[in-house]
Structure 1
Amino acid sequence: MRFRLRSQRRPPTVIIVALIDVLIVLIIFLMVTTTFKQHPAVRLALPESSQARRVDTHEEAPLVIAVDAEGRLWWGTEGAPLDLATLAARLREEASRHPNLRLALSADEKAPFGQIVKVMDAAREAGIRMVNAFAREPSRP
């Protein structure tokens, strides 16, 4: 009787190239099915104005103060909400650093007018001479 000697079995190997292909397919699938939304911090419905114009790209960007529909103040459109006393102090600080500072007021259509006037008063007290308001162009009929 002749017994056969079994040849030594090689240990199983993992084919890395196939795993990489599967991983790339999964990444592509996740990228295609994922939605990428940008959520603005402050959502404003700007009022329409027949005199609204686009800002030139070569102009220096103004400092933006936003007032939402509830009357909350925002430093920029994505900053944190702040109160009127903090706003006045920060405006004085910015005006001392930049003597020709321009302020752009971005207020919601339904924002309390009293809050807008308070922001304008704080800007005037800080020595900011140029205060503009954001508006949207009227819709075409």
Structure 2
Amino acid sequence: MAGAGSAAKSSGPKKARIEIIPLIDVVFFLLATFVLFTLSLNKIESIPINLPKATPPDNSKPPEEPVIIQVSDADSVFWNREPISMSEVTPRLLQYAQTTGPKVLVTGDERAKFGSLVMVLDKVREAQIEQVSIETIYRGTGR
């Protein structure tokens, strides 16, 4: 009986099977071919550009220190530790603005009035000095 059962299984029609692994290989091959083909169709065009070349900084002269304008009470002003009056600030700033690369550091001591400090900043702006810094740390009067 054992022989008859095995003969019955082999005598029937075989069912067709779809193998998925070779199908995946074919699909990836077609995808890679399509990608390479489309990349070869695109012409990459560019415009020639002459880029500027960097030059090393000139270290022969040290950078100039900024002029320090310190405001104190009663409209007293110090120009690089030298006491001057508020009326002298504008002429000095206009003269200093004529130099190359003028830089100004505006500061105040503990007795400075806000209005006086703003007035000095306005005078710096009128002199058209663009490199202006405002110091926010404590500094003693005239230092």
> Could you tell me the TM-score, scaled by structure 1's length?
0.49
Which has the greater radius of gyration?
2
More helix by share: 2
Task: Provide the TM-score with structure 2 as the length reference.
Answer: 0.48
